[in-house]
Structure 1
Amino acid sequence: MTTSIETSFVDNHALMLRALNIGKTFTLHGQGGVQIEALAGVSLDVGRGECVVLVGPSGAGKSTLLRCLYGNYLASAGTIAIRDEAHEAKHVQITGAEPRDVLYLRRSVVGYVSQFLRVIPRVSTLDLVAEPLVSRGVDENEAHQRAAALLARLNVPERLWPLAPATFSGGEQQRVNIARGLIAEHPVLLLDEPTASLDAENRDIVADLIVEARERGAAIVGIFHDEDTRAKVATQRLELRPPLRHAPALH
């Protein structure tokens, strides 16, 4: 049965993501079952064309919240709903979804860019960036053309495109990671410090790409380590504090 919360989310077509009273507790089984509360009572709505920037001190749970939204972590409390027009219910609750539904969302609805590139051995940079398009049925030549254009914009040298990125510098790997995460133009984007390894020039390029994604209607939740990038991309800020100290406030 659809709850009133689900109904209000589904009927508001501008909303792409809703998280309600999210909590996450980790149990350290190797240390006598000690429990650490990483998140408590965090809620947010993210609509089309909005970018909610998570701010707060280290240990406030910013990356933990992103991983809960993506389904890497199962939230210990609360619900997370992501709009999916292809689904019968027009949304998927990540907190109770079947693995196949989560995988479908990641392929078609939710893009995620972490701080680090998970290198796939012997796969060229061009193929790595093009793969999210190819997996969605885009012609391989077109996918490679779009990947090449994005890599060029991100200042990844063309001589590197045929190579696997395992030996690239940290900044080069990060730009490949960003290209792979943005190329499919997912309706929802989760960004975990995508500019952390970049110089000022490349940070500005990435910020421009994020603004362009926002302007075409993507719903974005992100963590950014520098204030200039936050100021450029944010439409809202969600302040997180370590649990039991301060409640989060959206402003």
Structure 2
Amino acid sequence: MPTSIETSFIDNDALMLRAVGIGKTFTLHGQGGVQIDALAGVSLDVQRGECVVLVGPSGAGKSTFLRCLYGNYLASTGTIAIRDDAQQARHLSITGAEPRDVLHLRRGVVGYVSQFLRVIPRVSTLDLVAEPLLSRGVDADEAHARAAALLARLNVPERLWPLAPATFSGGEQQRVNIARGLIAGHPVLLLDEPTASLDAENRDIVADLIVEARERGAAIVGIFHDEDTRAKVATRRLELTPPLRRTTALH
């Protein structure tokens, strides 16, 4: 018999992401096994064409929640399911999925932009941005042309495209990171402060790209430190509050 989550994705074609009762507890093994609750009881549905902005004070678990949605952190409690029409059940429950299935979902469905670019040594900026398209079978010439167009729009100078971005400024690296995260047009986008190191002009460009992704039907969950950017991209907000901090030493 189908589960309630399964029927949700089958019956509602607009539903892209469902998180129910998500909690995350970290165990500090180097400090006597102390356990710290970072997130408790967070639930969220996101449909096509929505941009849900996470708001709340530092320590509320905003980045932790995004990492749970992406599968970088395994949620301690609750379930997370993301639409995957390649599956018979029309979704993948990432809280219980095999790593290979999560990687497959990331390749075709879920894009993630973090605050920092994880630089691949000796790989040019153009190749780095084109790679998500190449991994999906896009012709190399087309992939590089699309990467070049996106880098130009993000004001990354053409003289930098043949270079590896390890020595770029923080703002340049962030724009390369954004280009890599957005180029494939993933149906679900998770954005962890993508504009944090950008000036006002480039923040506006990134906000425009996010609005365009939303308008084409992407389901977006994001964190933005700038209120103007939040106001521009959000269709609604989800307020997170710090959980009651339980710090328990394991014996």
Q: TM-score, normalised by structure 1?
A: 0.96
Tell me the CA shift for residue 116 of structure 1.
0.2
> Does the alignment pair 1:90 with 2:90?
yes
Q: Aligned letter for 1:238? A: L
* Letter matched to residue 204 of structure 1: D
CA deviation digits over 1:180-200, x for unaligned, max 9? 000000000000000000000
Determine the structure 2 residue equivalent to 1:230: 230
Q: Is the 8 A contact 2:9 2:90 kept in 1?
A: no
Q: Secondary structure at the match of 1:171?
A: helix
Distance 1:160 1:4 in 2: 50
Q: Which runs of 4+ in 1 moved over 4 A?
A: none
Say whether 1:195 aligns with 2:232. no
For 1:63-102, what per-residue CA distance to the aligned partner results, in whole angstroms no more than 9, with x for missing partners?
Answer: 0000000000000000000000111211000100011110
Distance 2:221 2:36 in 1: 24
Q: CA–CA distance in 2 between the matches of 1:130 and 1:226?
A: 28
8 Å CA contact 1:9–1:18 kept in 2: the answer is no
Find the aligned partners of 1:47 and 1:53 in 2 and give their Cα distance: 13
Cα shift at 1:158: 0.2
How far off is 1:8 after superposition? Answer: 2.1
In structure 2, the partner of 1:248 is none
In the TM superposition, 1:240-251 aligns within 5 A as 240-244=240-244
Name the counterpart of 2:205.
205
Q: Give the 3-state SS of the residue equivalent to 2:54 in structure 1.
A: strand
Measure the CA separation in 1 of the matches of 2:58 and 2:233: 21
Q: Do the aligned partners of 2:6 and 2:89 also contact (CA within 8 Å) in 1? A: no
**What does 1:1-251 align with in structure 2 at a 5 Å threshold?**
1-244=1-244
Partners of 1:11 and 1:81 lie apart in 2 by 15
Q: Which runs of 5+ in 1 are unaligned?
A: 246-251
CA deviation string 1:159-196 (max 9, x = no partner): 00000000000000000000000000000000000000
How far apart are the structure 1 equivalents of 2:8 and 2:105? 21
2:40 aligned counterpart, secondary structure: strand
1:118 shift after superposition: 0.3
* CA drift at 1:31: 0.8
The 1-side partners of 2:87 and 2:67 are apart by 22
* Shift of residue 10, structure 1, vs aligned partner: 2.9
The gaps in structure 2 that reach 5 residues or longer are: 246-251
Matched position secondary structure for 1:37: strand
Q: What secondary structure does 1:177 align onto?
A: helix
| 1:159 partner letter | R
What is the DSSP-based 3-state SS (H/G/I as helix, E as strand, rest coil) of the residue aligned with 2:119? coil
Secondary structure at the aligned position of 1:41 is classed as: strand
CA distance, structure 2, for counterparts of residue 76 and residue 34 of structure 1:
15
SS at match of 1:220: strand
Q: How many residues align?
A: 245
Code of the residue aligned with 2:149 in structure 1: it is A
Q: Distance in 2 between matches of 1:136 and 1:75?
A: 28
How far off is 1:5 after superposition? Answer: 3.1
TM-score, with normalisation over the residues of structure 2? Answer: 0.96
Contact 2:24 2:37 in 1 (8 A): yes
